[in-house]
């Protein structure tokens, strides 16, 4: 029985790889799961990855390791393989896993591999690649267990026993009519708890939850979570079954989307696959990926400086400037809180694009209450600070109140607006919101000061 990966095993593997101790590595690999070997490889350099992978002799094990590697590591390991070797590994994988590997190969190598797969009568990968990688069609498996509506429980069990090796994972039986259109679904539990002569149509659920091949993978994940499903059939416009998205695929989707949103919220540009692991990236690539929003932040700071200069005439700038971080910080933090709630709500479906007004109104109310609370608190501090001019305290209080209000409304409405435009709402968080709220907060703060202080 393979041992679970722990820190000591990982340390041993990494040390043996760096020593190029092939015999000892083979012994450790024989006791380690493929998923755990893949996890170790993500922490190695490109040369070390290839060295470790070359030591794996079992084709099934090598295929399982490759299927579990992130995109960057797949490109690193497979980039120097021959087309024949890659095809041999792909034939050991499930079609959806093989598709993920082929999709990230260098273009010339990918075309060569696809030609060999088609020539070898294995066209599942090519058909899956026809769909977008982040769609239901892109993540589905074409291996689905379907039976005609004339079948009985007894004949269904015999079919399962006959084709069990061709179906590594299945949770439901899908029933089709004479035109091969999906008409019902039967769980394995129902199949085993009814007599063998029972017609499947009498125990099937005709209200089948299905998705189209072009539906976004996040929406598929929401279906699985909402209805507690183990698999979702993918059907075409005629109702014919194209494939199946299983719960393990959905877990990968949730992990990828969460990582992507996390990176976007931090202002790091990159796709879903890139977001999962940056350990193989060079410093130049990471600089490029992270520089975009920081440039926007820099321009935001310059614009805020221009606003301060525009309103500074006749104002005690030295006194007001000391409280600028408070105004910017309060507004920015509230904005990020509202944006995070909005992005999370849109992802889980609790906030709908067409019905987001109640959510935005609620956040605006929260912003008003927080603004009153901290506006009074910081305004009182300003009045009690011993400054001879009482307008300082009033300016701070009103400025904080307005900055928090702006942050809550902007933070809750921006993700909804971006989602309506078809843009990932996660980019509205982090640098985007803080920069926008900072600029507006500074403008409001000095605008209030300009109005309150006598000319």
All structural domains of the chain: 7-130 (1.25.60.10), 146-248 (3.10.580.10), 283-452 (1.10.357.20)
How do residues 8-45 score in pLDDT, each as one tens digit?
777 888 888 888 888 888 888 888 888 888 888 888 88
Question: For residues 101 and 74, is the Cβ–Cβ distance under 8 A?
Answer: yes
Higher-confidence residue: 249 or 429?
249
- Tell whether the model's pLDDT for residue 351 goes beyond 60: yes
Q: Quick one: pLDDT at residue 147?
A: 92
Q: Give, in order, the Cα–Cα distances in Å from 455 to each of 92, 314, 390, 417, 449.
A: 80, 7, 15, 40, 11
Q: What is the pLDDT of residues 52-109, one digit of tens each?
A: 998 998 999 999 999 989 888 898 888 878 888 898 898 888 888 888 888 888 888 8
Once rounded to an integer, what is the mean pLDDT over residues 264-292?
Answer: 57
**Residue 276 CA, distance from chain mean position:** 9
Distance of CA 155 to the CA centre of its chain: 41
**Where does the pLDDT of residue 211 fall: very low under 50, low under 70, confident under 90, or very high at 90 and above?**
very high
CA distances to 238, 352, 376, 419, 441 from 416, in Å: 33, 8, 31, 5, 22
pLDDT band at 110 (very low <50, low <70, confident <90, very high): confident
Confidence band of 292 (pLDDT split at 50, 70, 90): low
At a CB cut-off of 8 Å and minimum separation 6, what does 214 contact? Answer: 131, 132, 135, 136, 137
Task: Give the max Cα distance, the chain.
Answer: 94
- Reduced to 3 states (helix: H, G, I; strand: E, B; else coil), residue 315 is coil
Tell me: the pLDDT tens digits for 371-428? 899 888 888 877 777 665 677 778 888 888 998 899 899 888 888 888 888 777 766 6
d(CA 92, CA 359): 49
Q: What is the pLDDT of residue 264?
A: 63
Q: Which of 174-183, 196-205, 270-279 has the lowest mean pLDDT?
A: 270-279
The DSSP string of 375-413 is HHHHHHHHHHTT-S-THHHHHHHHHHHHHHHHHHHHHHH
- For residue 32, list its beta bridge partners: 3
Helix boundaries (H) for 104-164: 107-119, 124-129, 136-139, 153-163
Q: Pick from 133-137, 229-233, 341-345 the range whose average pLDDT is largest.
A: 229-233
Q: Tell me the three state secondary structure of residue 177.
A: coil
Beta bridge partners of 246: 231
Q: Which of 247, 276, 365 is nearest to 72 (CA)?
A: 276
In whole angstroms, give the CA distance from residue 177 to residue 199: 14
Tell me how far CA of residue 276 lies from CA of 60, 171, 231, 249, 279, in angstroms.
Answer: 25, 29, 24, 15, 9
Phi, psi of 423, rounded to the nearest 5 degrees:
-105, 140
Average pLDDT value over all residues in the chain = 81
CB 371 within 8 Å of CB 401: yes
Rama region for 174: left / alpha / beta (φ>0; ψ in -120 to 50; rest): beta
**Measured between alpha carbons, how far is 18 from 219 in angstroms, rounded to an integer?**
43
pLDDT of the residue at 154: 93
Is the pLDDT at 182 greater than 90? The verdict is yes
Evaluate if residue 273 carries a pLDDT over 60.
no
Using the predicted structure, report yes or no on whether residue 274 has a pLDDT greater than 50.
no
Nearest-angstrom CA–CA distance, 410 and 361? 11
* Percent residues over pLDDT 90 in the chain: 18
pLDDT at 233 over 90: yes
CA distances from 85 to 8, 81, 113, 122 (A): 32, 6, 10, 15
pLDDT of residue 2: 41
Instruction: Give, as one character, the DSSP assignment of residue 199.
Output: B
Say what the pLDDT of residue 417 is. 85
Higher pLDDT pick, 160 / 278: 160
What span, in angstroms and rounded, lies between the C-alpha atoms of 6 and 13? Answer: 11
- Which residues are paired to 146 by β-bridges? 174
Name the β-bridge partners of 180.
none
| Phi, psi of 153, deg, nearest 5 | -60, -35
pLDDT at 387: 61
Q: How confident is the model at residue 259 (pLDDT cuts 50, 70, 90)?
A: low
User: What is the distance between the alpha carbons of residues 124 and 90, in angstroms, rounded to a whole number?
Assistant: 11
Confidence (pLDDT) at 380: 83
Say how many CA atoms lie within 13 Å of 141 toward its Cβ.
21
pLDDT over 70 for what percent of the chain?
A: 79
pLDDT value, residue 155 = 92
Q: Give the separation between CA 218 and CA 168, rounded to whole angstroms.
A: 25
Three-state DSSP at 291 gives: helix
> Which of left, alpha, beta for 94 (phi over 0: left; psi -120 to 50: alpha)?
beta
Q: Which residue has the tokens 């990176």?
A: 263
């Amino acid at each position: 029985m393979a041992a679970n990966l722990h820190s000591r095993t990982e340390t041993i593997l990494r040390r043996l790889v760096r020593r190029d101790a092939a015999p000892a590595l083979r012994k450790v690999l024989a006791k380690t799961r493929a998923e755990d070997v893949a996890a170790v490889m993500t922490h190695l350099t490109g040369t070390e990855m290839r060295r470790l992978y070359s030591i794996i002799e079992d084709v099934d094990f090598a295929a399982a390791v490759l299927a579990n590697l992130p995109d960057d590591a797949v490109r690193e390991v497979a980039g120097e393989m021959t087309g024949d070797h890659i095809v041999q590994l792909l034939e050991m994988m499930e079609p959806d896993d093989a598709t993920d590997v082929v999709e990230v190969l260098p273009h010339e190598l990918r075309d060569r591999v696809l030609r060999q797969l088609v020539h070898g009568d294995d066209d599942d990968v090519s058909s899956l690649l026809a769909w977008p990688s982040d769609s239901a069609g892109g993540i589905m498996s074409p291996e689905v267990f379907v039976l005609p509506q004339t079948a009985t429980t007894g004949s269904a069990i015999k079919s399962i026993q006959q084709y069990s090796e061709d179906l590594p994972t299945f949770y439901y039986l899908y029933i089709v009519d004479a035109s091969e259109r999906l008409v019902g679904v039967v769980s394995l539990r129902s199949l085993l708890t009814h007599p063998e002569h029972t017609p499947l149509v009498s125990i099937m659920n005709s209200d089948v939850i299905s998705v189209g091949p072009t539906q976004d993978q996040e929406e598929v994940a929401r279906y699985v979570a909402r209805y507690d499903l183990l698999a979702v059939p993918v059907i075409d416009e005629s109702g014919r079954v194209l494939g199946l998205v299983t719960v393990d695929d959905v877990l990968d989707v949730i992990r990828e989307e969460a990582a992507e949103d996390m990176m976007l919220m931090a202002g790091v540009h990159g796709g879903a696959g890139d977001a999962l692991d940056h350990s193989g990236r060079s410093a130049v690539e990471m600089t490029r990926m992270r520089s975009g929003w920081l440039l926007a932040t820099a321009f935001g700071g310059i614009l805020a400086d221009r606003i301060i200069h525009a309103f500074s005439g006749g104002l005690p700038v030295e006194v007001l400037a000391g409280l600028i971080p408070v105004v910017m910080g309060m507004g920015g933090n509230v904005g990020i809180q509202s944006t995070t709630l909005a992005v999370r709500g849109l992802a889980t479906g609790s906030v709908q694009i067409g019905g987001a007004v109640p959510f935005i109104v609620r956040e605006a109310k929260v912003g008003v209450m927080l603004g009153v609370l901290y506006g009074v608190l910081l305004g009182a501090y300003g009045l009690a600070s011993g400054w001879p001019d009482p307008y300082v305290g009033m300016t701070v209080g009103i400025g904080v109140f307005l900055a928090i209000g702006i942050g809550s409304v902007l933070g809750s409405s921006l993700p909804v607006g971006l989602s309506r435009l078809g843009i990932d709402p996660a980019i509205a968080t982090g640098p985007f919101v803080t920069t926008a709220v900072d600029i507006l907060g500074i403008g409001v703060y000095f605008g209030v000061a300009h109005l309150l202080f006598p000319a």
